Amino acid sequence: MCGIAGVLGSSGAAPNAVREMLSCLQDRGPDATAVKPIGDGAIGHSRLSIVDLRAVSNQPFESADGRYSLVFNGEIYNYRELRRELQGSYGFRTASDTEVLLAAYIHWGPAALERLQGMFAFAIWDEREQSLFAARDRFGVKPFFYSEYGGLFSFASEIKALWAAGVPREANERTWAAYLSQGMYRVGAEAFWRHVLELPAGCLLRVRDGRVSTERWYSLEERVQGLIETTCALSDEEILDQTEALLLESVRLRLHADVPVSINLSGGMDSSLLLALTLRDGAEHVTAYSFYTGDERYDELPWVEQMLERTGIPLTTVLLSAEDVPALAATVALKQDEPFGGIPTLAYADLFQAARSDGRLVLLDGQGLDESWAGYDYYRSPSRAPIVQGTTSSAVRPDCLSPELLALAPERSVPKPFDDALRNVQWRDLMVTKLPRALRFNDRVSMAASTELREPFLHHQLVELGLAARADHKIRDGVSKWTPRTIASRLLPESVALAPKRPVQTPQREWFRGELRHWASDRVDRLFESSVAGWFDEAKTRGELQRYFDQGGDNSFYIWQWINTALLFDGI
C-alpha cells in the first residue's frame, strides 16, 4: 500500500511538483519515497513495505530495458501464481508483487488486468511510446484522482496532492448539492472539488500526445448477466460448495504478506466467518482488533469476546469516547478531503492507529458480503431500498439549502441493469452508493495510520456469484445471506452463524443531543462563518438543529452533513 503521484506537461518543474505531492502522501508510504523524471513530466511513489521489504522493490520500478516505469498502490494477491506463469518469459529480480504486475503488463498488455486478483491503482510510463497507462481495480478499493488543469495532467492517490501540484481548491457545487440534498457521494466521476475527477472503479486511462481517454475494462453487470442462467440452475449443495471454495481461496490469497496480519472484528456473522476461514487456513498467529464506545446499546464486545474465547487469538479493544470526537474529527477531515462517514469512521481511525502502534501493518475486514449476498433488511423489499440505511425518516434536509444550490443538484438517476429489483439494488449498493463510500472512508483512515486494509469478501468471482445467484440462495425463510450463513453454520456456533444483521453503529445520535451538543452547535455556527454559508438557509438550518436537540429522532445523518461540511471548509 502506498501513495502514487505524477505530472505530465511540464518537464522542468514536474519533479519538484511531484515531490510536493508526495509530501502530502507520506502517511500512505512512510518507508521509502522517490521521484523519477519521465518524458515531459515526472512520477513518484511513497512506499509502505508489505511484500518483499528490500529496497530493490522500491518504486518507481523500472523494467530491465528501461522502457517501462511503474508506480503502484495496492496489492496483487495472486502474484505468486502469476509469477510462476510468467517465469519462462521474464527474468525476475525481486520477490515483489510490484514486479509481477509490471511483468504481466509487459507480457499481456492491458489484457493483464483480467488476470489480476487484487486491489490496485497504478500508472505505467512507456518511454518508447511517450504514453501513460493507468488502471483501477474492479471495485475501486484503491483511489486514483486526476486533473487536467492549467495545461497539465496530474494524478495522485489523494486530492490534497493535486492541490499541492497547483490545482486550485474550489468547491464543485454540483457534487455538494447532490450530497446535501440526496445523500449521494459522487456525480459520475466528479469529485467534491472542481478540476478533479476520480477514475471510476474497473476503468483504465491513457494519456498520449496531451490527450486523455478512459474506458471500462471490467463490468460487473456484464459479467453477472453472463452467469445468471448457469448460476440459477445450481442446486443448494453446488452453490454452497462453489461459495465455500471461493471464500477459502480469497482468504488464502489475502494472507500473503511479509509483515504481521490482523483482523478487524465486529460481533456480526461476517467477521465471525472471516475469522473462522482465517483459522481454517492455518493463520494461527493473527491478532484481532475491535472498537467500542462504552454504550451497551451499540457495542459488540460481548459477541466478539464470545467468538474469540475458544481460539486463543489476542484481542485489542479500542475505546472511542465522546470527548475524543472533536479533535479526531478535525484530523480525519484533513485526511479524507471529502465528506466521510461520521463517528463510525472516527472509531475505525482510532483502531488503525492502535494496530500501527502494535506493529500490525495488515488488517483483514469483512466488507462486501452484505451487498453481494443480500444481507441488509431492506433487500427483502428492494423496491423501497433507501439510499441511506437505518432510518425511517428522511436522511437529508434539502429544505435547509438555498434555492441556488438546490437547483444545481442533478436528478438522481441510478441505472437498473437487471430485470429484477433485488439484483438492481445489490448492484447499486456495490457500484454506486454503499460500497464505494465505505471503501473511500476506510482507505483514508487506514492509510492515515500507515496500515493496509484488505477485503477478502470482495474477491470478484465471489461477488459475481452472489449477484448472479437466485433469490432463495440469498434470502430464505426470512433469513438473509442464506448461502454464507449456511457455510458459517458449519464452522461457527449456531448463535453466531444465525445472528441477525447488526449494522456497525455508534451512539452518534445520542452524543449529538448530549455530550457533543455544544460541539455540534458550534460546528453549525462555524458553517455560517465559512465561505459556503450561502449554501444554507440559516433560519431553517438552525430550526432543524434545535428540533433535533429537543425531539431527537432515528436519524442524525443530516446533522453530520452540516458538521462535516463545516470541518472541510474550516479556514477556507
Query: How does DSSP assign 35-83, residue by residue?
Result: EEEETTEEEEEEE---SS-SGGG-SSEE-TTSSEEEEEEEEETTHHHHH
Closest CA to 120 of 160, 60, 73, 159: 73
Query: Which pLDDT value is given to residue 412?
Result: 85
Cβ atoms within 10 A of the Cβ of 138, count? Answer: 26
Domain CATH number, residue 99: 3.60.20.10
Range of the domain at 131: 2-218
Tell me: do 188 and 247 sit in the same domain: no
Dihedral (CA of 352, 315, 304, 372) sign: positive
Tell me: do 278 and 178 sit in the same domain: no
Tell me: do 181 and 326 sit in the same domain: no
Does 545 score more than 60 pLDDT?
A: yes
Number of domains the chain contains: 3
Identify whether the C-beta of residue 121 lies closer than 8 Å to the C-beta of residue 157. yes
Characterize the bridge pairing of strands 315-319 and 287-292: parallel
Tell me: do 39 and 119 sit in the same domain: yes
Max Cα separation, the chain? 71
Tell me: do 309 and 201 sit in the same domain: no
Identify whether the C-beta of residue 316 lies closer than 8 Å to the C-beta of residue 409. no
320-376 pLDDT, tens digit per residue, is: 999 999 999 999 999 999 999 999 999 999 999 999 999 999 999 999 999 999 999
Characterize the bridge pairing of strands 68-76 and 61-62: antiparallel
Closest CA to 567 of 398, 322, 327, 395: 327
408-455 pLDDT, tens digit per residue, is: 999 888 999 999 999 999 999 999 999 999 999 999 999 999 999 999
What are the helix (H) ranges across 283-387? Answer: 301-308, 325-336, 343-357, 369-372
Greater model confidence, 302 or 93: 93
* C-alpha distances out from residue 201 to 261, 391, 485, Å: 26, 28, 28
The one-letter amino acid at 403: P
Characterize the bridge pairing of strands 203-208 and 131-136: antiparallel
Q: Domain boundary residue among 442, 470, 497?
A: 497
Tell me: do 279 and 319 sit in the same domain: yes
- Is residue 503 domain-resident? no
Tell me: do 137 and 263 sit in the same domain: no
Tell me: do 127 and 273 sit in the same domain: no
247: left (phi over 0), alpha (psi -120 to 50) or beta: alpha
How many angstroms separate the CA atoms of 335 and 440, rounded?
Answer: 11
Give strand ranges (E) for 78-172: 118-126, 131-136, 145-147, 153-156
How many angstroms separate the CA atoms of 515 and 521, rounded?
Answer: 12
Does 280 score more than 60 pLDDT?
A: yes
Q: Domain boundary residue among 466, 497, 528?
A: 497
Greater model confidence, 275 or 24: 24
Tell me: do 175 and 317 sit in the same domain: no
Q: Domain boundary residue among 449, 468, 497?
A: 497
Cβ atoms within 10 A of the Cβ of 238, count? Answer: 12
Domain CATH number, residue 338: 3.40.50.620
CA angle (347, 352, 358) in 5-degree steps = 130
Q: Coil, helix or strand for 292?
A: strand
281-300 pLDDT, tens digit per residue, is: 777 688 999 999 999 888 88
Q: Coil, helix or strand for 278?
A: helix
Query: Which pLDDT value is given to residue 385?
Result: 65
Identify whether the C-beta of residue 508 lies closer than 8 Å to the C-beta of residue 342. yes
- Is residue 404 domain-resident? no
- Is residue 160 domain-resident? yes
- Predicted TM-score (pTM) of the model is 0.95
Query: Which pLDDT value is given to residue 495?
Result: 53
What's the whole-number mean pLDDT along residues 245-274?
91
